[in-house]
Amino acid sequence: MDNVVDRLIRYAKVHSESDHYGRPENPSTLCQFDMAKLLVEEMKGLGIADARYDEHCYAYGTIPATPGYENLPAVGLVAHMDTTPDMTGKDVKPQVIKYEGGDVVLNKELNIVMEAATFPELKKFVGQEIVFTDGTTLLGADDKAGVAIIMQAVEELLAEGTPHGKICLGFTPDEEIGRGVANFDVEGFGADFAFTLDGGEITDYEYETFNAAGAVVNVKGQSVHPGFAKDIMKNAILIAMEYASLLPPMETPGQTEGYEGFYHLQEFNGGVENVRMVYIIRDHSMERFTERKAMMQKAADTINRRYGEGTVVAEVKDQYYNMYEILKDHMDIVDLAEAAMKAAGIENPTHSPIRGGTDGCMLTYKGLLCPNLPAASHSPHGRFEYAPVESLKTGVKTVKNILSPELLKTVKVK
Ligand SMILES: [Zn+2]
């Protein structure tokens, strides 16, 4: 029998970085197929007959229900195979260190030290074994810890002969560049509901995401020689700054947390004639989200009254929505997650609002209800990413509990 740590290390060593500027469709990078192939091989090894991957690099596998348990809902388990392009995921050399407190020397030769002062969260894991990097790459526990937890839970369940309902496994490419579910085959997947395993701390699960929109604001100026500009010149740069100043100045990512939404000016490009600003707009509340989008237009109207119709054009496009809007009518799935975590020994599972989206929120809007479970990746997307061994094992227990007929029969989705 495998174990979850060996699995994480094995998967982490496979280079499967996604790329914003790679292929225009899934997968953005061909190296992600290496993960898909490996997982299909391993699923086949576990006896999952229909294990497969498609041309878009989605890997699927179905485990039919134990005879007599066909009435249980079919549970989907989803994790992403790619790692973020923000930090290299090539030649990952994971190491397991027993953490005794204080700073951690990740790499003596290169003098790469993880300082306890910068990562106070480490304190929670004193006395535990932790999977770290060698300081030169990310670990990729985001989300290979999720992959490892799912695969391990399934292997143990099958080996132990525990009865279960239908289980659907799905491993996706390109989550880190926002294209994780673009070609996800919800119908073929065959689950009644699902969970992504793509969270952090093993005690925290998630079912609320932002509502999200993007806005492109174009400002048209009028250039003329500054020497002859009186009453003629309209400087698009100054007008754009005026536009930006009409939005609530304290409602930016740098000044908000928890359930507080924001306007985020992401790009500002141009000159006297034209300026293009790119914003993202985020809010957990649908009502406030709608107000924020209206505010973008209101600001444009104000500027246009000052400088003439058509000076500012704001184009706002929705990106994704808070999955809670849908999940709130299916809270027995969320309760199932919490009960499974408790049964895995987590006394007080917590849930926090995600200040972003998940593959699960987009799947939820595609018709597959999908809250997010923790996967034990800490400080992801960088060289200091780590995954505590105990947490990984708790993750495996949580997934096995979710699949247990006892807890599952409390869910009424089917
Ligand atoms: Zn992730």
Q: How far is the CA of 314 from the centre of ligand 1 (A)?
A: 31
What average pLDDT does this structure show over 81-85? 97
Mean pLDDT score across all residues of the chain: 97
Given the candidates 3.20.20.105, 3.30.450.20, 3.40.630.10, 3.40.50.720, the CATH classification of the domain at 4-208+323-408 is 3.40.630.10
Q: How far is the CA of 155 from the centre of ligand 1 (A)?
A: 22
Q: How far is the CA of 48 from the centre of ligand 1 (A)?
A: 25
- The span from the CA of 77 to the CA of 83, in Å, is 18
Q: What are phi and psi of 289, to 5 degrees?
A: -60, -45
DSSP structure class, residue 297:
H
Q: Quick one: pLDDT at residue 101?
A: 97
Q: What residues are annotated to the active site? A: 82, 175
- Per-residue model confidence as pLDDT tens digits over 345-379: 999 999 999 998 889 999 999 999 999 999 999 99
Are the beta carbons of 52 and 144 closer than 8 angstroms?
no
Are the beta carbons of 153 and 396 closer than 8 angstroms?
yes
Contacts of 115 (CB under 8 A, 6+ apart): 103
Q: How far is the CA of 316 from the centre of ligand 1 (A)?
A: 27
Q: Is the pLDDT of residue 410 over 90?
A: no
Are the beta carbons of 27 and 18 closer than 8 angstroms?
yes
Is CATH 3.60.20.40 the classification given to domain 211-320?
no
**One-letter amino acid for residue 35 of the chain:** M
- The span from the CA of 138 to the CA of 141, in Å, is 8
- Per-residue model confidence as pLDDT tens digits over 152-176: 999 999 999 999 999 999 999 999 9
Which residues, listed in sequence order, are joined to residue 206 by a DSSP beta bridge? 372
What average pLDDT does this structure show over 262-281? 97
- Per-residue model confidence as pLDDT tens digits over 175-195: 999 899 999 999 999 999 999
Range with lowest mean pLDDT among 121-125, 227-231, 409-413: 409-413
Confidence of residue 297 (pLDDT cuts 50, 70, 90): very high
Helix, strand, coil % (nearest 5) of the chain?
Answer: 35, 25, 45
Q: How far is the CA of 263 from the centre of ligand 1 (A)?
A: 24
DSSP structure class, residue 234:
B
Residues with CB under 5 A from ligand 1 (ion): 142-143, 198
Are the beta carbons of 171 and 59 closer than 8 angstroms?
yes
Angle at 300 between CA 278 and CA 221, to 5 degrees: 75
Residue environment code for 167-183, b if the CB has 16+ CB neighbours within 10 A, otherwise e: bbbbbbbbbbbebbbeb
Q: How far is the CA of 178 from the centre of ligand 1 (A)?
A: 10
Q: How far is the CA of 145 from the centre of ligand 1 (A)?
A: 10
Where exactly are the structural domains of the chain? Answer: 4-208+323-408, 211-320
What is the rounded end-to-end Cα distance, in angstroms, of the chain? 33
319: enclosing H helix or E strand: strand 312-320
SS3 110: coil
Q: How far is the CA of 235 from the centre of ligand 1 (A)?
A: 42
Q: How far is the CA of 100 from the centre of ligand 1 (A)?
A: 28
Confidence of residue 309 (pLDDT cuts 50, 70, 90): very high
